[in-house]
Amino acid sequence: MNKEEILEKSRNDNKNNDPFYLETRVKGMKYGRIAAIIFCLALFIIDWFITGNRAYGYYSIFTASFAADYLYRWKKTDNKDDFYAGTLMALATVVSVILHFVHHI
């Protein structure tokens, strides 16, 4: 192998491991999740004031987002606090989904 082939192979192997790419992707996902949570919370509150009912579907999206984040971090870091928080948020998600369908039947 010559120098150019080695460099090309190295570029291909490290294509998606660029620190800048990874950092911007993580920050983009974080800000996207924050925007989605704010939007769901706003819809929950607006729906509550307009109709007088609580639309738990919005709340379940909110809690599911946190559950996924905490449980993913727990899986990667083995931090028990993340496991407990993720489990509680997953439980809150299940409860809010049940409440959503109970109130819409």
pLDDT one-digit tens code per residue, 17-68: 777 777 787 788 888 888 888 888 888 888 888 888 777 888 888 889 889 9
Residue boundaries of the structural domains of the chain? 3-103
Residue 85 or 9, more confident:
85
Q: SS3 letters for 21-75? A: HHHHHHHHHHHHHHHHHHHHHHHHHHHHHHHCCCCHHHHHHHHHHHHHHHHHHHH
Confidence of residue 101 (pLDDT cuts 50, 70, 90): confident
pTM: 0.63
